Amino acid sequence: MSGAHVLVVGSTSWGCTLAMQLARAGSRVSLHCRSAAAAEQLSAEREERRLLPGIALPDSLEFTTTEAVPPSPDAIFFVVPSQRLRDNVEEVLPALARPLPPLVSASKGLEIGTELRMSEVMAEKARTLGEAPPLVALSGPNIAREVALGLPATTVVACRDVAVAETLRDMLMTPALRVYTSSDIVGVELGGALKNVIAIGVGIGDGLNLGENARAALTARGLAEITRLGMALGAEPLTLTGLAGLGDLILTCTSQRSRNRYVGEQIGKGRFLDTVLGEMVHVAEGVDTTRVARTLARRVGVEMPIVDAIYRVLSEGQQPMDAVRSLMTRAAQQELVGRSSP
């Protein structure tokens, strides 16, 4: 969709990357920054030196703040940590002309306290303004730096309105980024959020040197847990075997750039969670999502023993090896993804 005007909210590594990608695909892009100082710095340096060092931002990219939100973009991409999405939505939406354009979440998490998916957070604020814009989720196996460098990648745009999904697809797709559409926004969002939890568990196993068999088992049985919870919440199971489910899960459980796998690995090596998180430049969404996923699973009656074990390690101080033993000594089960447990 060449010539569209897109507002990207969040100068995160993924936010800057999506702004670059949208510009490459032909859109005019405004990148909304947290402060005037951040906007001025990015505008002057044309590089996010802390998060994407060595990668030039396109000259066409515009930088905005709350005081200068463009009133009539054709689409808005929210690319902020999931626990900050509500604040950003509440800040930006009132400054926009009506009717509101499609709202796209590129955040992979679940909101603490409400257990809402990111599209539900956006919808809640829009309703207070008397609006019901199209809600879209963007998720897939995407390492920001690789997409920013133009390496081949794929992603998924999900919206209940297929025509809107196709419009957003055309805004994003280039020869280096192949974009698929889906009408299953629930599955796409849950796949992107829950894979971070399983990646922490895989990282713990790596930190404990449990081996490749254990990594494969945690990944596969983690997918079974994601699928069970997803189905209980209305997701299509096939979505969770696709790019936004299995594809993203494999990437996050294996990549050396995975923040969540790194957190788990450090815990498996005996380090404290708060210390690890305090040293990180990026946000590891899986830590908060673990708590929400556990609450959701209990509310809908879905058994998620791996998620429970990760929760006990992160939030209750259980020793990682004790958590592993608890999983390995559970009662024997059949391997039925829809009903069984690891």
d(CA 197, CA 62): 35
DSSP string computed for 268-299: HTT--HHHHHHH-SS--THHHHHHHHHHHHHH
The identity of residue 242, as a single letter, is G
Q: Is 125 a catalytic residue?
A: no
Give the contacts of 26 (CB within 8 A, at least 6 positions apart). Answer: 1, 2, 3, 4
d(CA 134, CA 300): 27
d(CA 327, CA 170): 45
| Residue 331 DSSP code | P
Q: Are strands 177-182 and 62-64 parallel, antiparallel or unpaired?
A: unpaired
Residues in the chain, how many? Answer: 342
The identity of residue 203, as a single letter, is G
| Given the residues 108, 125, 195, 269, the one annotated as active site | 195
Q: Which residues are catalytic?
A: 195
